[in-house]
Amino acid sequence: MDRTFVMVKPDGVQRGLVGGIVSRFEAKGLKLVAARFEKLPETRVMDQYKEHLQKPFFPSLKQYIMGGPVFLMVWEGRSAVTVARTLIGATNPQEAMPGTIRGDYGLDIGRNVIHGSDSLESAAREIAIHFKADEVCTYTRTDASVLYEY
């Protein structure tokens, strides 16, 4: 099984969307293996968004992401990155399909509610930024046998 990193951003937290978002991932069959609610420290924001540090939008992104609490999660399942990205929808909410999280809740690319890893490599890097190995749980869902063909 694969793991992916997902973060409900400050606008999603402020709008009270955390529970509904978690429910979508659970209903899809992904397994929540780590979660934390917090305001991100600058060091982890810099690590999270290191590919954007020199881009003109980074200062406003940093201010936004540090401006309120976020909800950090690690989800596990077969093709977890792809499944999560499909649930999340296009980065620009105006291009996101109805039924996706961004398609249903987002209006602006700068306030798009949620982040999800875009590859297995990114997922591993982002999980390591935000969670220690012993903070990620290993367990078997009781419904695993009806979720997957083995």
Q: Is 52 a catalytic residue?
A: no
What's the distance, CA 7 to chain centroid?
3
Dist CA 117 CA 80 (whole Å): 10
- Among left, alpha and beta (phi > 0; psi -120 to 50; other), residue 37 is beta
Q: Per the residue annotation, which of 115, 117, 127, 130 is the catalytic one?
A: 115
Q: Which pair of structure tokens corresponds to residue 135?
A: 């903070």
- Active site members: 115
